[in-house]
Each structure stands twice: as structure tokens, then as C-alpha cells.
């Protein structure tokens, strides 16, 4: 497929545009529903969890936050099997239904004052379901578009999924502001999210299975039949190189650390250092999310003209001095705007897998791509969010803001080696 001066849309056929639109809308809704609780945690945690002293409350908040990632590896195995055996299409439909169901439960869930600790356990269970759903949503959408498009259109097309997820989080913050400032019942937001998600699930039934997956599956079936086998046997081509798997894991570990500082840890600073109210915090983060979205749009635009791995290298070079100076900047900041600038830099230059996700997926075996991609994504999130959320509670207590470097510097070093490995693969 040739690149035209009119841009990416003119080089896509009707089916590709429709598929991209359905997946982007679905991802937007998934992340709107997922992030609605994350950004309103300062309000909802008080409604659904018992109240303790600040330190215990921090641990409780960390537990609630991590709950959406703990069962993701098991979800990755389940949906990986479905995606690699039944197809990419069923997974993106099932995940949407899961998200809609959990949102409907949250919308009708009694508070802690009404039913006690049962409310806490149900809320955690719903968050787990949402975490499982949102992970497979992103992986499924990225793989679907990777297998349904050609280079160079593939890079911005797949990266647009991250724009959709960011917009979902932005609108979740907007609903949070309306809920608190204008007495808009937060339960209505979950009702709306659940309803639209169900409509999206029905709309996604119109998607067609990717040709790359169908061809690989047909080839495998013919091979099984010709050899007289009753079931497929794993071959060398089905196995993922260990160094490639480790490199992809290292790259995926970067985003959780950046996200946690930007949207979770910074809330604690605003609340404790500047005495921000709930509505002030949500409004502040809404503005940060707008910067985040602008940064992602810029990356998508650049990925159509610059190879994604080169973009990631540039972001890593820019991001390093920001991280090294961050503890000092946090210690001397005197107004919330200073924190906003730091968060904005994190949003614009944070290291992430986007827009290079298609590059990474192309080095995974086709009929194991969903399993390997989803499992690595899930384990990296579970691993990093547990370390970051619980680790910062203790590191900040002991080392102050310099405790951030103990987590961020190893993450950046691992990202560098992972990026170096995939650069070598691309040259080959």
C-alpha cells in the first residue's frame, strides 16, 4: 500500500476504516468505564471502604488500585487461548460485555454504610473484572489492526487505540467534575457507560476476522491433516524467543510507573501539600489528561513519517533528564502549577510501547501472538503496579521524593535494553 500526500485515511479501504472506528470507540468506552473509578477514587473509596488513619488508607487505596491487575495474567491465558484458536473478533466482543456488566453492578452497588464490608469485596471483584476486560481490549484491538493493515499506515492506526483510551480517561475526569461540582449522580455515569458498551458489543459483531490469522490457521490445519495428527503440535515457529519476550516485558514495564506518578501519586501531593479538595484534584488531572491526549496525537502523526523505534529512542533521551531532576523539582515547587508542569512533561515524553506495538507484535508467532502479547502485557502491569503503588508508600516515607528514582531509573534502563534488542531485530 502506497503512502499518499492526503494522509492515512485516504490510503485505507472502507473495511479498514470501519474496523478501526469500531475498535477505537470500543476502547474509548472501555477506558472511560475503567478510569471512571480511578479518577474518582478520592470520592468513591470513602463510599465503599472503611475509614482508617492516613497510612492505612494509603495501603488500602494501593490495594484497590492493584486489584484490577492481579488476575490479569490468568485472563491473558484464557483470552489468549480464545484469540489464538477461535479468532481475534470474539475477544473484543466478550471484553466489551464484561466491562458493561461490571459497570452495571457498580452503578447499583450499596455503599459501605449500607451493607458493610460486603460492599468493599464486591467493588474489588468488579475492579478485577474491569482490569481483565480492559487489558484484553487493548491487546485485541492492537493485534487486530496490526494484522489488518500495511506499513506505514499500520503504525498510526494501531497507535490511535492509545488515543481512544486516553480520551476515555479524559471524559471520565469530566464526568467526575460534573458529579462533584454540579451534583451529577456518579451512578448515572456507570449506567451510561454500561449501556453504550453493550451497544458497542453488538456493533462489533460486524467485524471480520483478520486475514493474517485466517491464513495462518488454514495453513496449520492443512499441515495437521497432511501429517495425520489429531491436534496441533507446538513447533519451533510457534515459540517466542526468550530474549524477545524479556525485551518486550521490559518495554511494557515503563508505562505503569509513569502513569502511577502522573495520575495517582500526584493526587497525594495535591491533597497533602496544597490542601486540594476532591473537585480541585479531578479538575487538575483533567487538564493533565488533555496534555496527555495532545502528546499521543503528536506521536501518532509522527509515526506515519518516522519509524516508531526512532520515536521511542528520542523520547527516552528527553525523558532521562526530566526523571533525574524530578525529586529536586518536587522539593522546591511552591504552587500546584509547578506540579502540573512536571506531570505535563511526564505525559508528553514518558516512555511507552506506543507507537511501536506493531513492530513488537510482528516478532511474535501469529498463532501464539494473542497469548504471548496479552500475557506479557498482563504480567508487566501486575508486577509494576504492585511495586510502584506499595513501594512508593514506604520509599517516600524513608527517602522522600528521591524514592521515586529507586523505581524509575531501573525501569528506564530496562526499557533501553529492550528497545536495543528490537532495533537489532528490525535491522535483520
How many of the other CB atoms lie within 10 Å of CB of 186?
A: 19
Top pLDDT among 34 and 374 is at: 374
pLDDT of res. 52: 61
CATH number 1.20.1250.20 given to 9-427: yes
Tell me the pLDDT tens digit for each residue of 29-55.
778 877 777 666 666 777 777 766 566
Tell me the pLDDT tens digit for each residue of 223-278.
777 766 655 555 555 677 889 999 999 999 999 888 888 988 898 899 888 999 87
Region at 384 (left for phi over 0; alpha for psi -120 to 50; beta for the rest): alpha
Q: Is the pLDDT of residue 411 over 90?
A: yes
Instruction: Name the pLDDT band for 415 (thresholds 50, 70, 90).
Output: very high
Q: Is the pLDDT of residue 20 over 50?
A: yes
Q: Is the pLDDT of residue 83 over 80?
A: yes
pLDDT of res. 2: 40
pLDDT of res. 6: 47
CA–CA separation, 210 and 89 (whole Å): 8
Instruction: Name the pLDDT band for 27 (thresholds 50, 70, 90).
Output: confident
CA–CA separation, 340 and 335 (whole Å): 9
CA–CA separation, 108 and 376 (whole Å): 34
Tell me the pLDDT tens digit for each residue of 419-428.
999 999 998 7
Using alpha carbons, list the distances in angstroms from residue 224 to 80, 234, 331, 366.
Answer: 21, 11, 64, 17
CA–CA separation, 335 and 320 (whole Å): 24
Q: For residue 155, what is its C-alpha cell?
A: 503504525
> Of 95, 167, 85, whose CA–CA distance to 132 is shortest?
95
Using alpha carbons, list the distances in angstroms from residue 233 to 94, 236, 300.
Answer: 27, 10, 39
Tell me the pLDDT tens digit for each residue of 293-337.
999 999 999 998 899 999 999 999 999 998 999 999 999 999 999
pLDDT of res. 79: 85
Q: What is the DSSP string of 231-274?
A: S----GGGSPPHHHHHHHHHHHTHHHHHHIIIIIIHHHHHHHHS
DSSP code of 118?
A: H
Burial class (CB within 10 angstroms; exposed 0-12, middle 13-18, buried 19+) of 343: buried
Q: For residue 85, what is its C-alpha cell?
A: 484458536
CA–CA separation, 238 and 218 (whole Å): 15
What is the reported pTM? 0.82
Mean pLDDT along residues 106-124? 86
pLDDT of res. 5: 39
Choice among 53-62, 78-87, 219-228, 279-288 with the minimum mean pLDDT: 53-62
Top pLDDT among 335 and 393 is at: 335
pLDDT of res. 383: 87
Q: Is the pLDDT of residue 67 over 70?
A: no
Instruction: Name the pLDDT band for 158 (thresholds 50, 70, 90).
Output: very high
Tell me the pLDDT tens digit for each residue of 258-273.
888 898 889 889 988 8
Top pLDDT among 69 and 124 is at: 124
Mean pLDDT along residues 118-128? 83
Share of the chain above pLDDT 90, in %: 26
Q: For residue 23, what is its C-alpha cell?
A: 475498535
Give, rounded to a whole angstrom, the gap between the first and last alpha carbons of the chain.
Answer: 22
Instruction: Name the pLDDT band for 15 (thresholds 50, 70, 90).
Output: confident
Q: Position of cell 454504610?
A: 113
Instruction: Name the pLDDT band for 198 (thresholds 50, 70, 90).
Output: confident
Report the chain's C-alpha Rg in angstroms.
Answer: 21
CA–CA separation, 11 and 5 (whole Å): 10
Q: What is the DSSP string of 362-395?
A: TTS-GGGHHHHHHHHHHHHHHHHHHHHHHHHHHH
Choice among 77-81, 106-110, 199-203, 362-366 with the minimum mean pLDDT: 199-203
How many of the other CB atoms lie within 10 Å of CB of 400?
A: 12
> Of 200, 210, 77, 205, whose CA–CA distance to 142 is shortest?
210
Q: Position of cell 497432511?
A: 226
Residue boundaries of the structural domains of the chain = 9-427
CA–CA separation, 160 and 20 (whole Å): 9
Amino acid at each position: 500500500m502506497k503512502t499518499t500526500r492526503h494522509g492515512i485515511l485516504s490510503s485505507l479501504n472502507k473495511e479498514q476504516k470501519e474496523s478501526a472506528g469500531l475498535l477505537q470507540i470500543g476502547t474509548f468506552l472501555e477506558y472511560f468505564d475503567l478510569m471512571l473509578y480511578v479518577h474518582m477514587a478520592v470520592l468513591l473509596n470513602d463510599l465503599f471502604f472503611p475509614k482508617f488513619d492516613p497510612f492505612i488508607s494509603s495501603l488500602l487505596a494501593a490495594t484497590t488500585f492493584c486489584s484490577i491487575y492481579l488476575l490479569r495474567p490468568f485472563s491473558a491465558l484464557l483470552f489468549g487461548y480464545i484469540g489464538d484458536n477461535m479468532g481475534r473478533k470474539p475477544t473484543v466482543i466478550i471484553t466489551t460485555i464484561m466491562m458493561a456488566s461490571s459497570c452495571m453492578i457498580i452503578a447499583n452497588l450499596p455503599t459501605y454504610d449500607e451493607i458493610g464490608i460486603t460492599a468493599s469485596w464486591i467493588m474489588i471483584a468488579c475492579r478485577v473484572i474491569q482490569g481483565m476486560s480492559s487489558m484484553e481490549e487493548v491487546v485485541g484491538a492492537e493485534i487486530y489492526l496490526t494484522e489488518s493493515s500495511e506499513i506505514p499506515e499500520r503504525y498510526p492506526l494501531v497507535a490511535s487505540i492509545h488515543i481512544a483510551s486516553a480520551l476515555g480517561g479524559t471524559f471520565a475526569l469530566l464526568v467526575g467534575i460534573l458529579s462533584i461540582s454540579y451534583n451529577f449522580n456518579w451512578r448515572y455515569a456507570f449506567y451510561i457507560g454500561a449501556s453504550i458498551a453493550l451497544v458497542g458489543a453488538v456493533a462489533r459483531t460486524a467485524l471480520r476476522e483478520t486475514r493474517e490469522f485466517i491464513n495462518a490457521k488454514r495453513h496449520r490445519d492443512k499441515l495437521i491433516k497432511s501429517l495425520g495428527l489429531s491436534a496441533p503440535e507446538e513447533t519451533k515457529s510457534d515459540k517466542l524467543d526468550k530474549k524477545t519476550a524479556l525485551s518486550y516485558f521490559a518495554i511494557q514495564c515503563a508505562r505503569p510507573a509513569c502513569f502511577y506518578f502522573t495520575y495517582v501519586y500526584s493526587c497525594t501531593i495535591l491533597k497533602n501539600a496544597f490542601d486540594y479538595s476532591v473537585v480541585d484534584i479531578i479538575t487538575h488531572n483533567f487538564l493533565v489528561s488533555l496534555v496527555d491526549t495532545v502528546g499521543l496525537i503528536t506521536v501518532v502523526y509522527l509515526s506515519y513519517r518516522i519509524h516508531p523505534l526512532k520515536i521511542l529512542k528520542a523520547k527516552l533521551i528527553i525523558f532521562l533528564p526530566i526523571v533525574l531532576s524530578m525529586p529536586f523539582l518536587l522539593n522546591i515547587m511552591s504552587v500546584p502549577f509547578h506540579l502540573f508542569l512536571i506531570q505535563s512533561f511526564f505525559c508528553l515524553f514518558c516512555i511507552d510501547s506506543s507507537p511501536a506495538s506493531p513492530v513488537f507484535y510482528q516478532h511474535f508467532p501469529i498463532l501464539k501472538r494473542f497469548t504471548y502479547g496479552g500475557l506479557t502485557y498482563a504480567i508487566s502491569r501486575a508486577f509494576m503496579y504492585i511495586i510502584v503503588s506499595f513501594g512508593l508508600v514506604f520509599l517516600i516515607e524513608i527517602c522522600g521524593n528521591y524514592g521515586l528514582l529507586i523505581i524509575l531509573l531501573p525501569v528506564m534502563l530496562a526499557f533501553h535494553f529492550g528497545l536495543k534488542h528490537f532495533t537489532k531485530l528490525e535491522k535483520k
